Chain A
């Protein structure tokens, strides 16, 4: 057997070397192109099959594949083809159509994994039996090969049918799994709905509790206060001739503090009602509100020297009632803190900033230290003593609550002794 031919190489080998060179060039030109990788891998597999068949032919001693009548291929040529095709296979990488077709759980991969080795088996046994029975006088070569083909076909059909069955079973399993997953999702949704319902119910009940609480505070807590004030007054009226100046002062202090607590309760109730109030967004004439407040303030204290500068015709998108509450508190604030000025000036207007409309209320009052600005809008937070400027410390907390509800912003700038400016803006103005 002429295994290592020393004659010239078969033209087939020449064609193969051309194919290999072509594949390498493709890979060099397009090193990271997935289509190039696919071409290289397909060339690798097809040339590999040919090399393998030559090798098998030599191993079983059947010259059927290598011993072409015209251009026989030597074993070393076949081995060369196999090695080069393996080389192509590696340079093509793992992300190719062929590799991806073999791995994973796809039906194609499952069938290919069985059919390809079966084909190899068929080729090997076919070649072997062909060689074995070729010169056998007892058995007809063609009948043997035909029988073999029938046998291989039956096995192939059996394998394919079995796999199709498996595939159906798998997809049924997937389907069932999907149904189970869907059921689980439905169950989760149901639980979620139940939780939301529970939370909402709890929220409604706590809200109701809060309402009951604030009702009870406004009704029941004020009642004893009224009694304290009433009987203190009665004590003064009926017994003041038996009391000295100190005793009278004590009674006055009791009354003053009682009334302060009454005001505190009233302010707290107003604050708590803010969160329950319905918000009706509309175009509000904010200058009109400001002017009405100014009229009221002028009527309270006509003896004071006060100047109001109100920019007319300003509008804002918000809730009329809530804005009125906020402006009332802001103007009350300015009114209160300008009380000790010789001439108080309170100004309301609009700054057009890049970020949008910013309204301001400016006064030349007592002002506060900006170091405490963070506490300004907290409930019960006060910047001045009761003796200096009396108050409950709820007014600005109420203002903040209003702008929270209207999704607006409120902030302040101040300087001690010079005055304070409150700024506010709405979400889309």
Chain B
């Protein structure tokens, strides 16, 4: 059975897909700044922010947009093994296949051998998971200006230290992503629903409901997606059990918002 609630629920599945990228004014500005930074002769670009602020989505969107015009490689999950990391880069960027171990020195020889080619862009998500030693080698690699790196980091105290110690002295572009404001969150939710033709559901979100959601999620996109997924799941459950008349349907019920928050752990009840 497919109702507006089921369709709306699916909109908020927590999937990082460039097609689901929602253009918000502030985010668009940041995105444009990132695109401009890539054109500059920078060695590395740092994209950081708290979990759920849309860093991965940014990288995906960037990869999608840049892949048509230039050589760009996205690594969504970190390759923690050093040899494996360089082997993957050698194969993807320089088309050099290695069956055995490939250390940094050997990889640098490959890089030098292929100089003069267009500078490829490597996008590394979740870079906080890389070891310090590997991060130092990535930095050295970026210093050769043969590969340009865009890395994302979670903004924590530890990651700040990494940023300071290893990258602060380099030529850097740092871009911080933040949680959405209440107004941005409303646009985000409604745009997302309207993109999936869920106009009725989009109209249910009054300012009061969005403010309540924002208060619960602090404007975090991931938490908001989780909450709204549960919210529409609850609506569809009420619909299935023919109890929809007991809750508001012309606008998002505060009761359902709070029940969703309880279920997702945003409210400790």
Partners in one complex: no
Q: Chain B: residues with CB nearer than 8 A to chain A?
A: none
Q: Chain A: residues with CB nearer than 8 A to chain B?
A: none
